[in-house]
Structure 1
């Protein structure tokens, strides 16, 4: 047996339930509205800010930060899809050094669970957008931003549900493998 690549599990992991697949894809979608809003700022649209409030977003550093934040958030959300796809069980062969190796379940479960908890705690206070209007935004802009950021409240719980499903499927497969 080749020591550089771990074999695929002897007993295949059962397919993810339909609800988990939908939840994983929904995770990527709930991050999209806020990211698109930040991209609008990067492209020079005030996106609800007053003229004076928009000035800080016109710097190169602010634009790089907002674009990077949008891309990183979307990539992190897309990783949730790995919990319902084969690449969440075996690393794709095209990835250098680790391609073709089996994914250890806890290597996916622990970061996903920590992320789910962190996201849930972070976005639990999203209603502040409606309660405490940002002084550099128009009232309409404040409402629009609140609406665009509100889906992020679902990011943590969706990730947690998909992570739990992944953990249960991988644990059941490991149990079948040990019995067989």
Structure 2
């Protein structure tokens, strides 16, 4: 009998939903939504390249960035989708699904999300994004032999907002940690 009661308690603990932590503030929601928007211009630009538009590249430069055939455009589409999906995940730091797994997800649905399960990927994301996008601060000093002057300027303006992604994500991670510190 004790074994059945013990199993019952374990099952209840694993399937119960924890009460949500303090709700994210309005500014946190705005930052998370801004992250999804700052990655959008570069993603749309990549989709344009994948559709065959040189969008600021010289003929040779375009062949380098988007080789003919299936894989060149497919890579650009995949890169756009992965980038926007990664940006979308920042919403998990301010939404309910960052605290409790949605019920429609098999096996895990309804369970509490351990704060580390959200914070570790967030901080890894901060590190990767810092390495990827901080060099864009020097975009205007970088040579662009494969681009037209107008294209170089345009791409700079499309990609420069990505520099803000890492600090914005870090801000959300700190705020998430504060909200979940005592849970």
Q: TM-score, normalised by structure 2?
A: 0.88
The alpha-carbon deviation at position 46 of structure 1 amounts to: 0.4
Tell me the equivalent position of 1:6.
15
Paired residues of 1:133 and 1:139 also in contact (CA < 8 A): no
Tell me the equivalent position of 1:38.
46
Tell me the equivalent position of 1:24.
32
Using the alignment, how far apart are the partners of 1:85 and 1:157 within structure 2? 19
Using the alignment, how far apart are the partners of 1:53 and 1:144 within structure 2? 15
SS class of match (1:137): coil
52-61 or 24-33: which moved more? 52-61
Tell me the equivalent position of 1:149.
159
Q: What per-residue deviation string (whole Å, max 9, x for no partner) do you get for residues 90-117 of structure 1?
A: 0111122312111011011111012112
Aligned pair count reads 172
Tell me the equivalent position of 2:74.
64
SS class of match (1:8): coil
Q: TM-score, normalised by structure 1?
A: 0.89
Tell me the equivalent position of 1:82.
92
Q: Which has the higher contact order (CA 8 A, sep 6+)?
A: 1
SS class of match (1:125): helix
Q: How much is the aligned-residue C-alpha RMSD, in angstroms?
A: 1.6
Structure 1 runs of 4+ off > 4 angstroms? none
Paired residues of 2:123 and 2:170 also in contact (CA < 8 A): yes
